[in-house]
Structure 1
Amino acid sequence: MSRRPAIRGRLCAAVLGAGWHGLSVLLAPVLRVNLRRRLARGKETQASLPQRQGLASRPRPAGALVWLHAASVGETVAILPVLEALLRANPALHVLVTTGTVTGNVILHDRLPAIVGQERIITQFAPLDVPRWDARFLDYWRPDVGALVESELWPNLIAACHARHMPLALLNGRMSDRSLASWRRAGCLLARMLSTFAWVMARSTEDAVRLQQGGAPRIDLIADLKDAAPPLPHDPAALAELQTLLAGRPVWVAASTHEGEDATIIAASALVRQMLPDALTLLIPRHPERGADIAAHASPGTPRRALGQAPTAQDGLWICDTLGEMGLFFASGAPVLMGNSLPGCTGGGHNPLEPARAGCPVASGPRIGNFRQAYARIADSVQFVETPHDIARWLIPLLQSPEARLKAGAGARQHALPDPALARKIASTLLALGQN
């Protein structure tokens, strides 16, 4: 009798897996059409279209190959220390890095020149989860070991790796309460996928519990990849130019904002300027394509960096709708409000360790469910806000007093120092899996 639940679970997973397999095969023509639509909206590139169907970006090099897959910007930045550790550990190794978004791909290419051994890094877009496209991708690249980051759980891809006896790891595994509840409708399929991983690392204790509830047999490491990340890079010449442009002005940053937060930030900007008429808000949308929409809701003539426009002394808001420059704006040490956290947006937060490591005072809205562990780490240094008045009350003393701003920034930096040993540990584990 005790074997019956396990047999039912395997049967359920087989049925659901076959259903997903068949549905994705049927939808392949629709996905091709959707890729063209995404290209027209700037969500894909001409180069990404064939790669999304599993075609290669370049010849496969001889020798050992590790494959890392990161969905978008946050995951891409998080794996950079592991990427560097892999290259240092084995001078003959090549690493294939796939991303799922154009922004993630752009960030990756922006960061590659700073990586020693970057000539051994291959980049391309990940295939969509169509069996034929997954097979084409895996059969061409033949990775010795693969690693998916956070919540990239694709049934066909994971099944294809398993069928090829390719060790697969889950790095920074993330499973929210909402995701787990959604997966319960296909819990046996989730359990089969999680049980396939040769090594599972959870981002936090809470994520570890939920991943085990979902079917992961064990969690071998609980740590956040973002704890290994150094401060975001910036171009010193660009920073000098920015400092000259903004010299003498009280400046604050609203970073990685999402739809639904703009009105609150613009209202806070106006309140700050009532006390400090020359104050300037740098509003940086998470998705740069939102720049035009934000400008439409701001004062007429609000400058946009993507259009090459710089703020004048009369401007109180500057929409910095460019990609890959967050390190530049954080390097100024200005107070930073982290977006995707205020009432009105979808919520979940963004990584507060990035501005903290640059020595910026940090504030956030209350909706930080995706980054609870990071916020707990710097809890004594974060101010939580909700309304325009909350934001203004936090900002005005910092903008009025350079000493208070420097003290708050130094406290944030002290709590956010990176852990370089974490990346080395992950890299050595992946290399060991690839040799088995």
Structure 2
Amino acid sequence: MNRYFYTAILRMASPVLLWWLQRRARKAGGVWDIRGPERYGRYTERPQASPQDEDDGYAESVFDFARPVWVHAVSLGETRAAQPLVQALLDQGLPVLLTHFTETGRSIGGKLFAPAINTGRLCQAWMPYDFPEAVQGFLDYWKPRCCILIEREIWPNMVAQAKKQNIPVIVASARFSPASLRRGQLLGSVLRKALTSIDLILTQTHIDAARLAEIGVKRTRVVGNLKFDLRISPEQSHMGQVARRHIGRPVIVIASTREGEDELFTRAIAQIKKTYQSEQAPRNDAQRQDPSEAGQNPMPLFVLVPRHPQRFDQVAGYLADDGLSVCRRSAYPTDKQLRTTDVLLGDSVGEMFFFYGLADVAIVAGSFAELGGQNHIEASALGLPVIVGPHTRNFQQSVEDALAEGAARRAHTPSEAVDLALRILENPELRLGMSRAAKEWLSLHEGATDRIMTALQPYLK
């Protein structure tokens, strides 16, 4: 398939694709601007070139927002991964245009880079749809000096239009699994041509570079994974650690659960509750005492954090159906409530380091269904013992390394993961050993941002 037929098929399929996106947006909530002019590369105002609110006490002088470095981070995960790179670009004095495709990515980007946005040093925009005229309108308006794509978000018309306007295109922290390349092969030569025309692809691993070489991509360089260069929120992690000391009970965080996992984890927690109740059961009803009256729930506090905000209420329903007492993070429960409740539902966005600061052990989900897994590196950065599931292709190399270094363990089911977390809690020597291993392992892989910035210098002029 060449690019002409790709574009024709995209146009014909656009009504269905827009309907699907609108449906997804309604479920997710927030403002996606699915049919907005930015999505079609249409703008009516000049790029923001000055602080949005001069009374905020930020820069007094107008910042010249011209020829920005365009960084595209499609969604929440890529935006968080791109944080150290975007900050390094800002620290070099460069204006940054940060684009997203999803509302969650744009929302977290607004939080992470609020000072730069308020001073006019960073602008956010929606990624245009991959129609030639939409991409051309976008590029004509913003006039970026280069384009940096995070991980693997590659669109044929976007790459072609950038090359037509002599805008260098670089993929940073690139990862290409066999499955992603197989899906890409459905587009035939159009994707292969896009990949081979990219100026530089900075891969996470030698394996990624070898996969690209198989389809004729030669301009690659191995730099490592941006997700190792974390910018931990010390405020969030400190708040979590203080809360843990106040509630005085062990905490197990189950992070980034996806569809098909929540119900299994709630059942596993409910089974643990039954076990604790049977062990604590007095010999006669007269001796029975409600945990809230006793002042402390005998079992660990479980913190369940769904990956997507649109599923918060649904997961709360699963927990209630399984007879579990629940507090919601959005309701800001008291220490007393957290001492007695079974589960804290993490129904907030952008607070993962708070939840990890609260935890003694982390189960990183997205890997107990065939979804490829979620970012386990953040938990390791805070020295937490990590448990992952069997499906971790999105983080294949880093998971294998963490397992080999003793920083993580693998479980095959949610129930097995919860049981393993309890065993780690009961074995202080094992827990501390995994914590030390996590920090040492992470220190071996830091520095991807510096290597990427070095490779980018010729394109930032």
TM-score (norm 2): 0.81
Please state how far the C-alpha of 1:152 moved relative to its aligned partner.
0.7
What is residue 85 of structure 2 aligned with on the other side? 82
What is residue 262 of structure 1 aligned with on the other side? 262
1:230-289 deviations in Å (ceiling 9; x for gaps): 335543674367336x61122100001111112332233234442583321101011121
What is residue 316 of structure 2 aligned with on the other side? 295
Q: Aligned in 2, Cα 1:196/1:44: closer, same or farther, shift over 3 Å?
A: farther
Please state how far the C-alpha of 1:389 moved relative to its aligned partner.
4.8
Q: Write the distance in 2 (CA, Å) between the matches of 1:156 and 1:185.
A: 16
Q: Write the distance in 2 (CA, Å) between the matches of 1:422 and 1:117.
A: 28
1:354-380 deviations in Å (ceiling 9; x for gaps): 000011111111111110121133222
Q: Write the distance in 1 (CA, Å) between the matches of 2:238 and 2:230.
A: 23
Q: Aligned in 2, Cα 1:127/1:111: closer, same or farther, shift over 3 Å?
A: same
156-165 vs 210-219, which moves further = 210-219
Matched, 1:19 2:5: yes
Matched, 1:374 2:362: no
Matches for 1:332-343 after TM superposition, within 5 Å: 332-342=358-368
Counterpart residue type for residue 383 of structure 1: R
Q: Aligned in 2, Cα 1:52/1:399: closer, same or farther, shift over 3 Å?
A: same
Q: Write the distance in 1 (CA, Å) between the matches of 2:184 and 2:117.
A: 40
Please state how far the C-alpha of 1:99 moved relative to its aligned partner.
1.2
User: Residue 41 of structure 1: SS of its match in structure 2?
Assistant: helix
Q: Aligned in 2, Cα 1:230/1:44: closer, same or farther, shift over 3 Å?
A: closer
8 Å CA contact retained: 2:28, 2:309: no
Q: Aligned in 2, Cα 1:415/1:266: closer, same or farther, shift over 3 Å?
A: same
1:81-122 deviations in Å (ceiling 9; x for gaps): 111111222x2x201011111111111112114779964111
1:157-200 deviations in Å (ceiling 9; x for gaps): 11111111111001122221112222233332222011111111
Counterpart residue type for residue 105 of structure 2: G
What is residue 305 of structure 2 aligned with on the other side? 284
Q: Write the distance in 1 (CA, Å) between the matches of 2:26 and 2:33.
A: 13
- The number of residues matched between the two structures is 416
Q: Write the distance in 2 (CA, Å) between the matches of 1:271 and 1:33.
A: 41
User: Residue 104 of structure 1: SS of its match in structure 2?
Assistant: helix
Q: Aligned in 2, Cα 1:334/1:295: closer, same or farther, shift over 3 Å?
A: same
Q: Write the distance in 1 (CA, Å) between the matches of 2:17 and 2:415.
A: 46
Q: Write the distance in 2 (CA, Å) between the matches of 1:262 and 1:313.
A: 23
1:386-414 deviations in Å (ceiling 9; x for gaps): 23552244222333455653443232122
8 Å CA contact retained: 2:72, 2:150: yes
323-332 vs 105-114, which moves further = 105-114
Matches for 1:186-265 after TM superposition, within 5 Å: 186-235=187-236, 238-239=239-240, 242-243=243-244, 247-265=247-265
What is residue 328 of structure 1 aligned with on the other side? 354
Matches for 1:349-364 after TM superposition, within 5 Å: 349-364=373-388
What is residue 50 of structure 1 aligned with on the other side? 37
Q: Aligned in 2, Cα 1:94/1:370: closer, same or farther, shift over 3 Å?
A: same
Q: Write the distance in 2 (CA, Å) between the matches of 1:119 and 1:138.
A: 19
Q: Write the distance in 2 (CA, Å) between the matches of 1:118 and 1:225.
A: 26
8 Å CA contact retained: 1:99, 1:125: yes
Please state how far the C-alpha of 1:139 moved relative to its aligned partner.
0.8
302-311 vs 175-184, which moves further = 302-311
What is residue 69 of structure 2 aligned with on the other side? 66
1:292-331 deviations in Å (ceiling 9; x for gaps): 2222222357435265163555431222121101011112
Q: Write the distance in 1 (CA, Å) between the matches of 2:206 and 2:191.
A: 19
1:404-432 deviations in Å (ceiling 9; x for gaps): 53443232122113766431332243231
Matches for 1:53-202 after TM superposition, within 5 Å: 53-56=40-43, 59=47, 61=49, 62=64, 63-89=66-92, 91=93, 93-113=94-114, 119-202=120-203
1:17-51 deviations in Å (ceiling 9; x for gaps): 10112233344555555555444334551656333
Q: Which of 312, 321, 328 is the aligned partner of 1:305?
A: 328
Matched, 1:424 2:450: yes
Q: Percent of aligned pairs with the same residue? A: 28
205-214 vs 102-111, which moves further = 205-214
Structure 1: 5+ residue stretches without partners: 1-14
What is residue 61 of structure 2 aligned with on the other side? none
TM-score (norm 1): 0.86
Counterpart residue type for residue 268 of structure 1: A
8 Å CA contact retained: 1:69, 1:97: yes
Structure 2: 5+ residue stretches without partners: 50-63, 277-296
8 Å CA contact retained: 2:319, 2:326: no
Q: Write the distance in 2 (CA, Å) between the matches of 1:241 and 1:125.
A: 38
Please state how far the C-alpha of 1:146 moved relative to its aligned partner.
0.4
User: Residue 191 of structure 1: SS of its match in structure 2?
Assistant: helix
User: Residue 122 of structure 1: SS of its match in structure 2?
Assistant: strand
What is residue 12 of structure 1 aligned with on the other side? none
What is residue 5 of structure 1 aligned with on the other side? none
38-47 vs 222-231, which moves further = 38-47
Counterpart residue type for residue 370 of structure 1: N
What is residue 394 of structure 1 aligned with on the other side? 420
Q: Write the distance in 2 (CA, Å) between the matches of 1:116 and 1:54.
A: 21
8 Å CA contact retained: 1:147, 1:170: yes
Counterpart residue type for residue 86 of structure 1: L
Q: Aligned in 2, Cα 1:305/1:284: closer, same or farther, shift over 3 Å?
A: same
8 Å CA contact retained: 1:269, 1:280: no
